[in-house]
Amino acid sequence: MATLELRNVNKSYGSGLADTLKNIEIKIDSGEFLILVGPSGCGKSTLMNCIAGLEDISGGAILVDDADISGMSPKDRDIAMVFQSYALYPTMTVRDNIAFGLKMRKMAPAAIEEEVARVAKLLQIEHLLGRKPGQLSGGQQQRVAMGRALARRPKIYLFDEPLSNLDAKLRVEMRTEIKLMHQRLKTTTVYVTHDQIEAMTLGDKVAVMKDGVIQQFGTPQEIYNDPANLFVASFIGSPPMNFIPLRLQRREGQLLAVLDSGQARCEIPLGLADGQLEGREVILGIRPEQILLAQGEALPSIRAEVQVTEPTGPDTLVFVELNQTKVCCRLAPDAAPRVGESLALQFEPSRVLLFDAHSGERLGRLAAPASQERGAKVTQLKGR
């Protein structure tokens, strides 16, 4: 196990070209599982290649256990990597594929056989040791690729989108296997993916990347509940967060956010100082599971017509329109309405986020707890 720290890491492919990686700052403790997540082209695989030593960095430092490894060759970094394409030797058996790195290190044959047996048992592939990669399924090949990395017992494991070539069912199964493996071995791991479900379920820490920049670094729950900007809020979560353009108006010296469903209008006092909103176009962000069927008058509510329903089994996604924007609500199946019905929906203002429409900057939450304690009222205008 080892700590991993990236200090102001930059990567450029030449003068006059934009940096592929820009001022990357990450630190994870020994045994932690780090996820690098983002859309294609964001720089996550490039960053992993820099950690592995397959690409040189243009600036900054990469430290393992506080020792700078930036100038080391890949073979000297004590890091094992699992590639997206598996990269197995097709003419070798599974046993020889797993043992290859150990033979290159000139380990004793008896020690190699013991290590291969240990890894095969851990991954439940003992019955495959005599086969060649062409005789294996995609999931089995992935296990062999993992086994080759595990056999080395390195300080750090790197996984570069290892599940992207698998079908949906097998991807879920292998995701669980990888998590169980990490819980057993407790080896520091860096995992690249574009799948936000993998990011949320596997990682102890998550770094969300866009255009070579880390947009936010934290635990999965921190990133889900408190996204730093519009990009993070939109990328993490399935179904994604709803984004509703707000109309602001002032009444009796108080700034109000206005929601309009076409059937009704809801006016909600804002919990931000005027100076934070002056001259801004504001977007309200709320996750589908945070929109509830109205129960009482303690929380803001608005009536809206159901336009589409999508049953998923454990939930039903219900779509309405607010401020001329399609909004998704996640409801229990037994509470799901039919298309054309009118629903009274409500939400907790302290869980709703506000963003600047142009910069994507997070501004705050819809209503501060203090404003609620002062008895801030919601005006509901019906029958318009």
Residue pair 9/62 in contact (Cβ under 8 Å)? The answer is yes
Q: How many Cβ atoms are within 10 Å of 146's Cβ, its own excluded?
A: 25
∠ Cα 203 204 205 (to 5°): 85
pLDDT at 374: 39
Closest CA to 300 of 267, 251, 330, 322: 267
CA distances from 73 to 50, 55, 309, 349 (A): 11, 10, 55, 53
Strand ranges, E, within 139-195: 156-160, 188-193
- pLDDT score for 273: 61
Please give the DSSP secondary-structure letter assigned to residue 290: G
CA distances from 16 to 13, 23, 58, 154, 172 (A): 9, 18, 14, 38, 43
10: amino acid identity, one letter:
N
Beta pairing class for 264-269 and 282-286: unpaired
Residue found by looking up tokens 């592995």 in the block: 52
3-class SS of residue 243: strand
Question: What domains are defined for the chain?
Answer: 4-235 (3.40.50.300), 242-382 (2.40.50.140)
Helix (H) or strand (E) holding 225: helix 220-225
> Tokens for 262?
């076409």
Residues paired with 44 in a beta bridge:
none
In order along its 384 residues, the chain shows pLDDT tens digits of 799 999 999 999 877 677 899 999 999 999 999 999 999 999 999 999 999 999 999 999 999 999 999 999 998 999 999 888 888 999 999 999 999 989 988 899 999 999 999 999 888 899 999 999 999 988 889 889 889 988 888 999 999 988 887 788 888 888 888 898 899 889 999 999 999 899 999 999 999 999 999 999 999 999 999 999 999 999 999 899 999 998 787 777 777 888 899 888 888 877 666 566 766 788 999 999 999 898 877 777 899 999 999 999 999 999 999 999 999 999 988 887 889 999 999 888 788 899 999 999 998 887 644 434 333 344 444 433
Locate all alpha helices (DSSP H) within 259-349, ordered by sequence. Answer: 274-277
